[in-house]
């Protein structure tokens, strides 16, 4: 995929030496769980802060302790996070670290054993979610099936595409295409775009199962 950072509504974190170093750690099969969690959390924080940069602001003047006016800005609107359980829950703390008392919703999607398609099993969302900007949280965007279903849930609750920001650590070209084919106005904020999916629909080069490495191994 050429020049992914220039694609409409795909925001790729700057590929600095620091970021590449963080990904080198979490991609390694030899990285222990404690280090995987620590360095993943650092990337998640960067993704959240990039997401916050996309929110609208208005001029807001404050007075400093020197009794001097400072012309700054204030955020417009309320936000909430919605994690796709369970791997997406790993990103909740990064959002809380940046936004005090932020509301968090959850959506549980699993593959139907008979159809092999994603199926909604559970949702718990803020009652006023239609009035909020929503950070949809899922570390990996592979085929996009779960993310599409989760986004359908948000839209059914009245959330506009323009108010959804989809944050993930890694994406695939296929996932981006599939997701934006249905939701072209939603910004995907990611730290990396992998080469492809393999025959088992895994990201390549990938980093393995994010949820297992973050919570279990």
Which residues are the active-site residues? 111, 115, 209, 212
- Asked if residues 43 and 169 have their Cβ atoms less than 8 Å apart, the reply is yes
C-alpha 177/C-alpha 174 separation (Å) is 5
Beta bridge partners of 111: 118
CA distances from 196 to 30, 70, 188, 200 (A): 23, 48, 17, 11
CB neighbour list of residue 86: distance below 8 Å, 6 or more residues apart? 211, 215
User: CA of 144: how far to CAs of 106, 150, 151, in Å?
Assistant: 17, 10, 10
Whether the CA torsion 91, 95, 96, 98 is positive or negative: it is positive
* Percentages (nearest 5) of helix, strand, coil residues in the chain: 35, 30, 35
C-beta neighbour count of 138 within 10 angstroms: 25
């Amino acid at each position: 995929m050429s020049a992914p950072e220039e694609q409409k509504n795909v925001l790729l974190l700057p590929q600095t030496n620091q970021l590449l170093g963080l990904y080198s750690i979490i991609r390694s099969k030899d990285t222990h769980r404690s280090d995987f969690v620590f360095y993943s959390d650092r990337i998640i924080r960067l993704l959240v802060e990039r997401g916050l940069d996309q929110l609208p602001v208005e001029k807001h003047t404050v007075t400093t302790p020197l009794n001097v006016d400072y012309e700054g800005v204030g955020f417009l609107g309320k936000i909430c996070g919605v994690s796709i359980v369970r791997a997406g829950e790993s990103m909740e703390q990064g959002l809380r670290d940046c936004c005090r008392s932020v509301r968090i919703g959850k959506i549980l999607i699993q593959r139907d054993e008979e159809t092999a398609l994603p199926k909604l099993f559970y949702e718990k969302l803020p009652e006023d979610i239609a009035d909020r900007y929503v950070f949809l949280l899922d570390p990996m965007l592979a085929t996009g099936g779960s993310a599409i279903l989760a986004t359908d849930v948000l839209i059914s609750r009245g959330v506009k595409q323009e108010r959804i920001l989809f944050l993930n650590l890694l994406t695939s070209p296929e996932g981006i295409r599939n997701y934006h084919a249905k939701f072209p106005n939603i910004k995907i904020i990611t730290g990396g775009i992998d080469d492809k999916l393999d025959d088992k629909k895994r990201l390549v080069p990938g980093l393995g199962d994010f949820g297992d490495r973050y919570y279990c191994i």
